[in-house]
């Protein structure tokens, strides 16, 4: 392989060109950087770069690993590697590892430190230049000020288009953001669900100045259930408060009513017992033979309650162990959202050739995230909207 390879002085100029205004990322970066500096010093050139080491980052972000060698680390995390111990194979594996570390770095310390290191970002760029550098992909984007601090976090199915809207808007908040933003970084998620969950989690962690409006809960109404005097399970929509735990949450009353109306039609439920028809006699659906008579005690409560319970179990993932599979960042990749004992644990990405039905394997690739009402609302809403496009595996 080396016999016909070019000498270092033949590729030195190209190395300088492709590494201009960049940060060197390597597994055990100190070693690679020392080799590069030594070779350039022999040519009389002072090669100077900022570096990020994936060994050190892995120790900080994945502290439970037994070994931090590239081979064992990629094997443990389910990162496919070809041409091991060859330059291209190891470089590709390091790229995939670095992507995973960026995903696990919820506080965004890597990005913030990188921006401080990178000299080109200290200049005041035009907003148009920032937009031109952004891709039209699904993901999360981060607006930074001159110190590298995150001042706004957002998500979009088209990052370039969304940031362009921020920069062309004339409302007071957008104008203030336009004055302060120096650069925009982003993270490709492939999946809109992962983007929604990351946005919610990272706003809570980083508390960006211009995300203050999002501190309130993203849901206002919830679906509750109670058993009436005749033994029938009733459904009721009301405002979410701290006293009761809703089965499902909604952004507004309109979406809640729409959900119940659809459930009533699909499962032959009673409009009266679902809060859609306030009457002392039978509901309208009974008249047209779509309700079996629970409103007038004609259908036995056990048969009726079974259908209501099936709806609750389908949409409320309480006590369930499952993985929601969605789009990945690349063609041969998928995203996995892990629910364990009804608790949202986090998300990860895996190669299609890799099995994700094993809980231990899943836990190793998952970026841990907080389970809260917001994350539960995001997942439940996404499942309702995209249930026919998603694959769900019960563990």
DSSP secondary-structure letter at 136? S
Q: Which two tokens stand for residue 157?
A: 């199915």
The residue whose two tokens read 């120790």 is 59
Name which of 97, 109, 105 is nearest 149 in CA terms.
109
- Taking residue 39's Cβ as centre, other Cβ atoms within 10 Å add up to 16
Per-residue pLDDT in tens (0 to 9) along the chain, 395 residues: 788 889 999 999 999 999 988 889 999 888 888 889 889 988 989 888 888 889 888 988 888 888 889 988 888 888 887 777 778 888 999 999 999 898 888 888 887 776 655 544 333 457 888 888 899 999 999 999 988 899 999 999 999 999 988 988 888 888 889 889 999 999 999 999 999 999 999 998 889 999 875 555 567 888 888 999 999 999 988 888 756 778 888 888 888 888 899 889 989 999 999 998 888 899 999 999 999 999 999 999 999 999 999 888 777 766 778 899 999 999 889 999 999 888 899 999 988 777 776 777 777 888 889 888 888 889 888 888 887 778 888 87
Phi, psi of 394 (to 5 degrees): -85, 135
Q: Where are the beta strands (DSSP E) in the chain?
A: 24-26, 51-53, 139-144, 150-156, 183-188, 221-227, 233-239, 248-250, 322-327, 333-340, 343-351, 367-368, 391-394
- Of 307, 324, 106, 284, nearest in space to 207 by CA: 106
Residue tagged 């976090």 (tokens): 153
Instruction: Give CA–CA dist 260/276, Å, rounded.
Output: 8
Is residue 271 a contact partner of residue 291, using CB atoms and an 8 Å limit?
A: yes
Q: Could you give the strand order of the β-sheet that contains 183-188, starting from the edge strand earlier in sequence?
A: 150-156, 139-144, 183-188
163 close to 177: Cβ distance less than 8 angstroms? no
The per-residue pLDDT for 120 is: 42
The reported pLDDT for the residue numbered 123 is: 33
pTM of the model: 0.63
Question: What per-residue confidence (pLDDT) applies to 115?
Answer: 61
Q: Vertex 269, ends 256 and 276: CA angle to 5°?
A: 45
Longest dimension (CA), the chain: 94
Cβ proximity of 136 and 160 under 8 Å: yes
The CATH T-level fold of domain 109-214 is GIY-YIG endonuclease (3.40.1440)
pLDDT at 124: 41
Burial class (CB in 10 A: 0-12, 13-18, 19+), 205: middle
Answer for the pair 350, 190: CB distance below 8 angstroms, yes or no: no
Domain boundaries along the sequence of the chain? 8-104, 109-214, 221-315, 322-394
DSSP state of 227: E
109-117 and 87-104 helices, crossing angle to 10°: 120
CATH architecture for residues 8-104:
2-Layer Sandwich (3.30)
Q: For residue 67, how many C-alpha atoms fall within 13 Å in the half-sphere facing its CB? A: 8
Smallest CA-to-CA distance from 336 within 354, 319, 320 is with 354
User: Do the beta carbons of residue 306 and residue 312 sit within 8 Å?
Assistant: no
- Helix axis angle, 253-267 to 301-315, nearest 10°: 130
What residues contact 57, with CB distance under 8 A and at least 6 apart?
98, 101, 105, 110
CA angle 160, 162, 165 (to 5 degrees): 110
Q: How many whole angstroms separate alpha carbon 294 and alpha carbon 232?
A: 8
């Amino acid at each position: 392989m080396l016999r016909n390879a070019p000498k270092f002085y033949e590729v030195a100029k190209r190395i300088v060109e492709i590494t201009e205004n960049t940060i060197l990322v390597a597994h055990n970066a100190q070693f690679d950087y020392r080799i590069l500096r030594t070779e350039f010093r022999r040519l009389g050139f002072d090669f100077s770069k900022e570096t990020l080491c994936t060994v050190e980052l892995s120790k900080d972000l994945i502290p439970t690993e037994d070994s931090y060698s590239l081979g064992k680390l990629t094997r443990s995390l389910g990162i496919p590697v070809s041409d091991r111990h060859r330059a291209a194979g190891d470089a590709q594996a390091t790229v995939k590892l670095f992507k995973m570390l960026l995903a696990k770095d919820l506080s965004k310390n890597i990005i913030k430190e990188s921006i401080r290191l990178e000299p080109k970002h200290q200049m005041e760029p035009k907003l148009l230049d920032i937009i031109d550098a952004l891709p039209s992909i699904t993901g999360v984007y981060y607006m930074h000020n001159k110190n590298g601090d995150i001042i706004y976090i957002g998500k979009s199915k088209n990052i370039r288009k969304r940031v362009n809207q921020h920069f062309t808007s004339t409302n007071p908040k957008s104008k203030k953001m336009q004055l302060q933003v120096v650069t925009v970084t982003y993270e490709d998620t492939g999946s809109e669900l992962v983007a929604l969950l990351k946005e919610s989690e990272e706003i809570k962690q980083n508390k960006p100045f211009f995300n203050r409006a999002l501190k309130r809960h993203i849901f206002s109404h919830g679906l509750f259930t109670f058993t009436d005097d005749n033994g029938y399970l009733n459904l009721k929509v009301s405002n979410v408060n701290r006293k009761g735990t809703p089965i499902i949450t909604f952004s507004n009353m309109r979406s809640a009513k729409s959900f119940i109306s659809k459930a009533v039609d699909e499962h032959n439920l009673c409009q009266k017992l679902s809060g859609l028809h306030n009457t002392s006699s039978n509901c309208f659906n009974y008249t047209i033979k779509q309700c079996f008579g629970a409103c007038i005690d004609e259908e036995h409560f056990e048969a009726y309650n079974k259908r209501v319970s099936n709806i609750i179990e389908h949409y409320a993932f309480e006590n369930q162990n499952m993985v929601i599979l969605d789009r990945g960042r690349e063609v041969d990749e998928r995203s996995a959202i892990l629910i364990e004992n009804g608790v949202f644990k986090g998300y990860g990405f895996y190669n299609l050739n890799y099995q994700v039905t094993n809980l231990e394997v899943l836990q190793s690739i998952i970026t841990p995230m907080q389970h809260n009402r917001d994350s539960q609302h995001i997942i439940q809403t996404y499942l309702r909207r995209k249930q026919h496009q998603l694959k769900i595996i019960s563990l």
